[in-house]
Structure 1
Amino acid sequence: MEKVLTEIIENILIVTLNDPNNRNAVDFDMANELEKIWINFEKNDNLNVAIITGSGNNFSAGANLYDVKRLLNRVENPNGPLGFTRLIINKPVIAAINGYCVAGGLEIALWADIRVAGKNSKFGFLERRFGVPLIDGGTQRLPKIIGLGRALDLILTGKLIDAQEAYQIGLINYLVEDDEVLNKSIEIAKMISSFPQNTLRNDRLSVYEGLGRRLSDGLNIEMKYGIDSIKTNELINGSELFKKGLGRHGEIIK
């Protein structure tokens, strides 16, 4: 059985963690495969957006502790122990979450730009009780997403929270029925993929590069990416569409 599955729908890549007997926990071989998949996604000009999800009834339980000795060999890997959580890519990623999204699985979800979750999903850093460190970006991304106080609560207590609480604190962006998680994620991905891509990607990178910077530095970063976007002529092309009456009142241009 392949432990990582990929599927392409239009310009969207769907990556599925596929070890349901272990709640899609990532072992050493899976981490190596995921690293290759995400590097290739970045290079593929035909793909605009990706979705990461889990098979069965769970997203991921994080690192497979039965394979911890081999995974330790990836701790200092520039792209992260789980294969890609230190990888900086310039395309959007959506996490489609059902069931348990815990430990390194939560860190994977935090790596994504947008999180869509089913009403019965659960979140937490359950590795707290086993002395496993957060080493796939959790300590850095979670405070930026939900704030310092709430992040430290989850990180220090290792408590498990339900989807409703995760939605209330801003950990997840969309809360849907369990059987609608992937469909909703694809719907969002198709919308994102329909927009002018150079400008979209530059705005996304501007957000990330501006985090933690002084306002003046952040504004300069925004200006730099904005100028790059203007040079692509997407703005000129878009203004012509606007003049024709397309895309107004929130309408998606097809």
Structure 2
Amino acid sequence: MGESVLYESSGEIVTITINRPHVRNSIDGPTALTLRNAFRRFDDDAGAKVAILTGAGGTFCAGADLTSVGDPERRNDLDPEGGGAGPMGPTRMTLSKPVIAAIAGHAVAGGLELALLADLRIVERDAVLGVFCRRWGVPLIDGGTVRLPRIVGLGRALDLIMTGRPVDADEALAIGLANRVVESGRSLSAARELAEQLVTFPFECLLTDRASAYAGLDMTVADALRAEGVAGVPVVAREGAAGAARFVGGAGRHGQFDEDPPEPRW
């Protein structure tokens, strides 16, 4: 059946594809390890700036492969101490660079949790998201109860977590679970367009702001403001001064980019 996870580099953009379409890209233990290693490879590669996570065959990921539960060689890693990188693979990793999820078909149960690992989610119009593991007595142990409230708010998260109901693309966009909604078949190309836009920016600045946004979630406002300044001020000299000089010289006036990227076709 080939490799369970595909890793493709194109310049500064990496595409990681869950490649088990015969089981709707569900994740067993060996696939989880391979997926974890793919994200570790991306995070360690100084030449890679943005990763796209997607699934083969028109489905993002249907969650854990429940056929592996009774097989010691294929079952997902379940640490009773809550350690490790997560049963689905990379879900307890702290990544230093942006990830975009390109979502087609279903992103449910552990598949939704993988999507929540991403910074941004591009969702096809006929996609379905949800905590479908609710009906099988399988809890969210890949970050779902942690990341979902931070993304959509506690009230909406509890609705999805407790009911396990399906969420379509329009609702996902309305509640902030999706960042973009695109037509069927366009999630991957739209994710690539977005990744190409991100890599054009002064990247140390982008990474610093991204890291500050995440770190601030666990701090008081006063501490977060102080940490933002500590991390950001040195970047002003390294990247901001050159950007300011370009602006003073006439670039970027009226909100225009120096070289406008192509209009995204969401």
Identity percentage of aligned residues: 44
What is the CA distance between 1:191 and its match in structure 2?
0.7
The answer to which of 146-155 and 159-168 deviates more is: 159-168
What is the CA distance between 1:40 and its match in structure 2?
1.3
- Alignment-derived partner of residue 4 in structure 1: 5
What is the CA distance between 1:81 and its match in structure 2?
1.3
Structure 1: runs of 5 or more not aligned: none
**Structure 2 CA distance for aligned equivalents of residues 90 and 43 of structure 1:** 9
**Structure 2 CA distance for aligned equivalents of residues 248 and 131 of structure 1:** 55
- Alignment-derived partner of residue 179 in structure 1: 185
SS in 2 for 1:179: coil
Q: How does 1:1-254 map to 2 (within 5 A)?
A: 1-68=2-69, 69=72, 70-75=74-79, 76-231=82-237, 233-253=238-258
| Contact 1:191/1:252 (8 A) holds in 2 | no
**TM-score, normalised relative to structure 2:** 0.90
**Structure 1 CA distance for aligned equivalents of residues 67 and 140 of structure 2:** 17
What is the CA distance between 1:55 and its match in structure 2?
0.7
AA paired with 1:129?
R
Q: How many residues align?
A: 253
**TM-score, normalised relative to structure 1:** 0.95
**Structure 2 CA distance for aligned equivalents of residues 38 and 205 of structure 1:** 17
**Structure 1 CA distance for aligned equivalents of residues 108 and 190 of structure 2:** 21
RMSD of aligned residue pairs (Cα, Å): 1.5
What is the CA distance between 1:74 and its match in structure 2?
4.4
The answer to which of 4-13 and 243-252 deviates more is: 243-252
| Contact 2:128/2:168 (8 A) holds in 1 | yes
AA paired with 1:190?
E
AA paired with 1:73?
D
SS in 1 for 2:101: strand
Structure 2: runs of 5 or more not aligned: 260-266
What is the CA distance between 1:78 and its match in structure 2?
2.6
SS in 1 for 2:214: helix
SS in 2 for 1:178: coil
